[in-house]
Structure 1
């Protein structure tokens, strides 16, 4: 078995464990809890790990508080994160103190302050902030290649060499654009298009409709990796749940492209792995 297959086996098992604790939290006491807060364009996710960095609880809510990687509804974002935090605290019968968060790569000078304020206003002590694809790689553990996080509003790219990030980029194309195309093609409201797109039973039918947007994402990836020796592309993010997206990107880039069985929860788990008990100050 190749190293990459071993990595995906670990990643897929971790995500399965997280899916299980979303439904049924593990209530045995831990000396400390670490929470990853993923403020996504389409979905806000909280992932809670115990003292040994094993998943014990999680919650998520579809929301419209972030657009193109930027917080546009500050009060709404705080409210959702606080409510999810309180929901998990009640289930675990403990206070969740330490939190980590992420931002699209290359946007730290623009939006990291807003994300930091949201997480802290919701009641967390923020102990780490990192970019989304780098967070995802805490779970994927890729040594060489490009981690591409396709979220609701943006596509973030991190290029790794010998386990270190050597390049990051972010561009505004993602799941929101999928929904706009679906809304136009099927003459339905945007919110209905969002729900229609999320249902896996529609993916085979939607793939040809969404192919031009996926090809645009492939062209974005091509532009950012052209000066780097990238031999593998790894997809994460909720938008990558679209069945067959990896095949179109592989064809458009000419580079072997892979994704976990459920790419939606890889980044929130990776954010939680970066959480510590030491404040960023």
Structure 2
């Protein structure tokens, strides 16, 4: 955890909104002291497609958060998502020097685990240790100081497109911000909405955003699978716009105000007023029609989640069930429909474990932003995120490595 009074800022660059959340480290944990949110214009399916529009939206969100928190924001933790994200498991083995595990050994075994061929256009975003094995003894979370001869690490590696990470950093830099770290969005959301017991028993986090649905599966306290589905809340909005023949902004308003994805929860005689396109008169329609448009699409999203879970073979490990979060999950009837499709207990995930402006951020739509603040507080070594092929001189790297080797030998 960081020092008391230290400020940590999470910047959630999403497809529908850009949200900046300011957290202050206190004795009890983290207090949320500022929040700024602005509609996002420059992203599609979680990936930046217009830098100028994204920069303008980030500026507005940051200004709003600075005003509320009464501080100046320089450094942020930002999330990354999109169809280009790929996660896979790997392992590495090294011999333990002096028969006792030191920090250098842990670093070496993690380096060995991530020493795999990755295409030049991809970048390692996270190397997440799942467990360590010392001389056939598994299930070790922290091997430091333990005795043994052979150290093995099982890790989950998350990679993303270099260009997508570069564009996110470029947008933040153009706003005058440093990026302390780029964090996978479902990993950030898990910090805010999942309990340790859920992660231990096995849980699937489904983060339904505007452009994408992100999946993270935890078992034994560690992340074992990550995946991205290129469907989200924007698909629901466009379905409503086409189905009810109404402008997109009106479709979004109708979805938020009247949306429900289970026909059983809607009365036969409920009606809604739907504005028409091209200056025609608004129409009064049954709310059932809206439900019949939304239900198949939400069902499709959860069927794709189920296929993803079955494909990676973890469906029997989810003893805690499924936690859904993200702005789109505010739709009435979504947990019930998810339970029906997935055949597992489902709950909505709200940010928890925080103080301060709790009532403002206690909504699934702020899960990623709050999670980024909590991730930042846990990992306050403040490493500035570097992209491969950036200003890191390869000779400096080799020289540094050689110095480390000599230090270890002599």
Instruction: Classify the TM-score, shorter chain.
Output: 0.7 to 0.9
Conserved 8 A contact 1:133-1:149: yes
Conserved 8 A contact 1:217-1:249: no
Deviation readout 1:65-111 (Å, 9 max, x if unpaired)? 21111111211111111222123323433211221011125362252
Task: Note if 1:249 corresponds to 2:223.
Answer: no
TM-score (norm 1): 0.83
- Structure number with the bigger relative contact order (C-alpha 8 A, sep ≥ 6) is 1
- Report the equivalent of 1:81: 58
- Report the equivalent of 1:12: none
Conserved 8 A contact 1:125-1:279: no
Alignment partners' CA distance in 2, 1:91 and 1:156 = 30
- 1:1-281 equivalent positions in 2, closer than 5 A: 31-52=5-26, 53-104=30-81, 105-106=85-86, 108-109=160-161, 111-141=164-194, 142-143=198-199, 144-199=202-257, 201-203=258-260, 205=287, 206-226=290-310, 227-228=313-314, 229-231=317-319, 232-260=321-349, 262-275=363-376, 276=380, 278-281=382-385
Q: Structure 2, unaligned stretches of length 5 or more?
A: 87-158, 261-265, 267-286, 351-362, 386-410
| Bigger CA radius of gyration | 2
Q: Return the structure number with greater strand share.
A: 2
- Report the equivalent of 1:13: none
Alignment partners' CA distance in 1, 2:384 and 2:221 = 24
Moved over 4 A (4+): none
Deviation readout 1:17-67 (Å, 9 max, x if unpaired)? xxxxxxxxxxxxx84311111111111111110133210010111222211
Give the number of equivalent residue pairs.
251
- RMSD between superposed Cα atoms in Å: 1.9
Q: Structure 1, unaligned stretches of length 5 or more?
A: 1-29
Which shifted more, 88-97 or 117-126?
A: 88-97
Alignment partners' CA distance in 2, 1:248 and 1:92 = 39
Q: Return the structure number with greater helix share.
A: 1
- Report the equivalent of 1:25: none
- Report the equivalent of 1:19: none
Q: Determine helix, strand or coil for the equivalent of 2:318.
A: coil
